[in-house]
Structure 1
Amino acid sequence: MRYQLECSKLEFFRPDAFGFINKLKTQPSKYPMINLSIGAPNRPTPAWIIEAMKTHLDNPAYHTYPPQHGAPELCEAVAYWYGKRFGVEIDPKDNVLITVGIKEAIFNALHSLVNAGDVVMVPDPGYPTYFEAVLFTGGKLLTYNSDAEADEVLSEIEHKARLHGPKIVIVNYPSNPTGRIVGLDFYKSLSEIASRYDFAVMSDLAYSEIAFDGLTVHSYLQARPGLELGFEYFAFSKTYNMAGWRVGAIVGDKRLVDAVKLYKSKIDSNVFYPIQQAAVTALKETPDSFYRELSGMYQQRRDALVHGLSDIGLRFSPPQGAMYTWVETPEGVDPWFFTEKLYKEYGILVVPGTAYGLNGSHRVRMGLVQETSLMEEAARRLAEGGLLR
C-alpha cells in the first residue's frame, strides 16, 4: 500500500515561496547576501528580559508543566498592558489565553471556531498562515484587497459580508506585508459592520509598537465594548525581539477564548514557565523610551531603503508601520523571476509577493530587518547595477 502524499492537504502549500527562497540562498550571487526576506528582528532580546529568564530558570517549581492556559502572572500582565496601552479593560482569567506565538494561535483559533463550509474572510495581500489555516479547517476562503485605502477596505468587507455571510473576518494592522495602518475610526466602522452581519473579527496585532511618522497603532478591542465577537493576537516577537522565544496571547470575547482554550488543551501544554515570567518582565518593566527607540530604528531603516528605491525608479507603498516595504516589480516582470534576479545579480534576498496572495502578483516584500548601513548598501547596489536600465 503506497501512501499518497500527492493527495494530502499538503498540496495547499505548493508552490512554496519560502522553500524557493531557501534554495536561492544555496546558489552563487555576485555580492555577499543582504537578507531582506526574513520577518524577524535582527537585534537581541533586551537584557532585562533575558535576566528575568535566567532568574526563573533556577526555580525547580517551574520545571514541570506550566498552567494549561498560561501563567496567571502573564495573563495579568497582558491585561495590565491592554489597560495601559489601549485603555481596554481585560479580565485576565476570562479574556486572555497564552499561546506558543501567533502562528500557532492562528491555526488553533481557526480550528476551534471554523467548521467545514464556514466562510472566513482574509486580507489579500496578507500573512500566509491565514490562508493556510482556513484551508486546513475545510472553511471557505474569501479575500478582500488589504492594499487599499481604509474606506475601500470597509466597503469591500461590508459588500462581501452581505453576500456571503462570513463567520470570521481577519484584519492585520500594521500590515504584513503592506505596512499600512488604520485609525480608530476604521475599527469603529468595522465593529458596526460586524454587528450588522454577525461575524467575529480576528485582529492580528503583531506589530503594535512599530509605527512611523508619529502615527499611533490602535487595538480593535478599543472599538468593541464588552469585547463581543472580537479577539486579537498579541505578540512579543517583533516588539521585544523575542521571535525565538515563542510566546504570545489571544485576548478577547470569553466565548471565543474558551473555545480556543478547549481545542488548544488537546494540542500542547503551553509555554515553558520561565519564558512566560520573562514575558511578564517585558510588559511591566520595559521603559517607554525603548518603544520610541524601536519605532525610530525601523523608521530610519525604512527611510534609507525607500529613498534608494525612489532614486532608481522602483514604485512602492511607503510603509506606515510594521517592518516591510511592499515594492512593485518592473512592468511585465514576474515576482518569482524578480526575486531570483535580485539575489543572483545584487545579493539581495526578498520574498515574491504571491506568497501573500493573488494581489501580490506584481510585488515583492523587502524587510526592514538589517541595520541601516545594509539597507543603504542594498539601495546602492540596485542603483549602481542599473536595475531598471
Structure 2
Amino acid sequence: MGTLSQDELNRALIERQMLRERADHSALATIEHLFGIQAQEPKSPYVGLWTRLQDFQPAELEDLLTSRQAVRILLMRGTIHLVSAKDALGLRPHTQLKLDRELQSGPFSKPLKGLDLDEVAEAGRKILDDTAMGTADAGKQLKQRWPDREHTVLGNALRNKLALVQLPPRGLWHTSGRAICTTVENWLGQPQEAMPKEELVLRYLNAFGPATVMDAQQWSGITRLAETFEALRPRLVTFRNEAGKELFDLPGAPRPDADTELPVRFLPEFDNILLAHADRRRVIADDRLGVVIGGKPTVLVDGYVVATWSAKDKQVRVDYIDQLPRSRQQAVAEEADRLQTWLRA
C-alpha cells in the first residue's frame, strides 16, 4: 500500500474530471462519466461541459433536456444535479433517507409536526402528475386539505418527499423559466429502481478517486458506505494519503505523476470537483472554501483554485486570490478570451 501525495491526488482528480485535456465525447456520455453535474445555477452545467469537451455547443445539452435523456433533479447532498435519465431513476432512491431527515430536523420540521408526510406526498404526487407546477403552487392546492399549514411548508415537503424533475425551459441556455416540476416517474415513464450500492461506489471512484469512505459519503450524502467498500475491497486497490488515511481506487484508473503539466481551466459555480470529497485540499485550500460556498465560479491553475471569475454582459473578468507569474497570468487571460468568445457565440 503506497502513499499518494496531495499533488498526485490532484492530478488523478483532474484527469478523471476531464480537465487535463478536452475530450471528444458526447455531452450525455460526459454527464454519465462525471456521475452528475451540479446544477443549482441553471446555466452552470453548460460551462462545466464547455471546459471539459471539444467544441461543445449549448444546443446539445438543450436537446438532452427537451428529449428527456437528461434531467435536473434533487440528488446528492440535497442539491439539484443534472444527470442522465437512467441515473436519475437509479440514484434518487439512495438520497431519500437524507431528504427525509431534513424534514424531521431542519427548519420545516416544526411547521410539519403532526402531519402524515406520506399522505401529503401522495396528494402532491396526484397534483403534480396531473399538471406540472411549482412546489409552492402545489402547496396552495394542498392547503385546501390542510388549511392550518402554510403552503410554502407543504410545498417544501413535496420537494423532499417526491423525486421531482425541473422541466424545461428551466435549465435551457437561450431562455429561462421558474422551476416547474413533475415526478421523475411521470416525466420518464419509468419507475425508480435503486442502483446497487456497489455500482454507486465504483462509479464514484471512476470519477473522483482515489478516495476515502468519508469522501464518498460527503459526495453522496449517503451514510454507512464502509460496508460497501469492504465488500468491494477484493476488486479495488488501496493507498494512503499524506495524513495516513486509507484511499480506495479502481485498479486500472489513471493516476498521473505529480509533476504532470495542467492547463488553465474555468469552472462554473459549485462544480463537483470542489465538493466531492471530505478533504477538499486536493484542489482547493481550506481557507478558500468560502468562495465555493458563496457560489463564485473558480479558476484552476496547475490544478488548484487560484482565482474566481465572473461574466457581466458576457465580459469575463478574473479576480486573483494568488499572485501568479506573468506567464501564468497570460495563460489565464488566453483561456478567459476563449470562454468569452464562446459565451458571445
The TM-score with structure 2 as length reference comes to: 0.26
The TM-score with structure 1 as length reference comes to: 0.24
RCO comparison, higher one (Cα < 8 Å, 6+): 1
